[in-house]
Amino acid sequence: MKKVAVIGAGTMGNGIAHVFAQTGYAVSLIDISQDSLDKGIATITKNLDRMIKKEKISESDKEATLGNITTFTNTAEGAKGVDLVVEAATENTELKFKIFKELSEVTDDNVILASNTSSISITKIAAQTNRPDKVIGMHFMNPVPIMKLVEVIRGYATSDEVTNLIMDLSKNLGKTPTEVNDYPGFVANRILMPMINEAIISLHEGVAGVEEIDTVMKLGMAHPMGPLQLADFIGLDVCLSILNVMYEGFGNPKYAPCPLLVNMVTAGKLGVKSGEGFYDWSHGTKELVVSDSFK
């Protein structure tokens, strides 16, 4: 494999393009929005500059990496002649179905189609294409250039050959791939989201306050940050949507999202991106919300 297309230049897409380009692949970075492409390239440039400062790469490595990336606003054009497509567009089922239907038409039958989806079934995405055996999940973690894990998700029809190829490719990118099967939440979110939900239930029931819950998990379990702060970083709307996928997918009440989470999302308290979630982020730092009434 030499040539890769990455669809979506947002948070994940620009990180995925960065990692492929730095490893020497020719990358077509595709987004419907020129503004997202410009911001994506600016983020990659900033992250490469940071790596130069830390003496991890040289100025010429930076130029080579940026030189490996070409941007496109048209999927058919960008996907021409690639060996692999990694889709990292907005998390929306209908949108992903539409993208994979188009990819199925505009790429050769031997091109592997991967999705970075956090929660949508790979089997369902694969069913939109003419090659379900060549559709697979490559679930990178945020921030992509730093985080080691790639959760490699086998859809119902994904072949052994394609799985092995993607496992090897992920290693070649300097990542540690882990193979999992296609069930709601895969493994990462199936374990993470119930923990976050339980932290919110503990807050909702008055067992402890925001800071207390996060301190217990940080200092007691050696987590780098508490579950409520992590939820603020991920986005409370994203947490709610993943919990709903698992709740509906398994039909098991243990995944039912806490009513406090539902209320906060309805009220537009989405975490860092909206300026307030379990913490107040509106001043650019983490502060306790004044109305946090636990004592």
Ligand X SMILES: NC(=O)c1ccc[n+]([C@@H]2O[C@H](COP(=O)([O-])OP(=O)(O)OC[C@H]3O[C@@H](n4cnc5c(N)ncnc54)[C@H](O)[C@@H]3O)[C@@H](O)[C@H]2O)c1
- Write out the binding residues: 8-13, 31, 91, 96, 118, 142, 273
User: Per the structure block, which two tokens stand in for 205?
Assistant: 């029931």
Q: How far is the CB of 60 from ligand X (least distance, A)?
A: 29
Question: According to the binding rule CB under 6 A, does residue 28 interact with ligand X?
Answer: no
Check if 282 is active-site.
no
Q: Give CA separation, 29 vs 67, 73, 175, 182, in Å.
A: 12, 9, 20, 27
Q: Of residues 4, 82, 88, 196, which one binds ligand X by CB under 6 A?
A: 88
Count residues near ligand X (CB under 6 A): 23
Greatest Cα pair distance in the chain:
62
Check if 151 is active-site.
yes
Exposed/middle/buried for residue 129 (C-beta within 10 Å: 0-12, 13-18, 19+): buried
Q: How far is the CB of 14 from ligand X (least distance, A)?
A: 8
* Alpha helices for the chain (secondary structure H): 11-23, 34-53, 59-67, 75-78, 93-106, 122-126, 160-172, 188-204, 210-221, 227-234, 236-250, 259-266
User: Which of residues 34 and 282 has its CB atom nearest to ligand X in the complex?
Assistant: 34
> Looking at 19-27, 85-93, 190-198, 208-216, which segment touches ligand X (CB under 6 A)?
85-93
Question: According to the binding rule CB under 6 A, does residue 8 interact with ligand X?
Answer: yes
The footprint of ligand X on residues 31-50 (CB under 6 A) is: 31-33, 36
Q: Which residues contact 13 (CB under 8 A, 6 or more apart)?
A: 6, 7, 29, 31, 40, 88, 89, 116
Check if 18 is active-site.
no
Question: According to the binding rule CB under 6 A, does residue 89 interact with ligand X?
Answer: yes
Question: According to the binding rule CB under 6 A, does residue 142 interact with ligand X?
Answer: yes
Question: According to the binding rule CB under 6 A, does residue 99 interact with ligand X?
Answer: yes
Q: How many helices (H) and strands (E) does the chain have?
A: 12, 10
| Active-site annotation holder among 189, 197, 202, 274 | 189
Q: Of residues 34, 90, 176, 266, which one binds ligand X by CB under 6 A?
A: 90
The set of catalytic residues is 118, 139, 151, 189
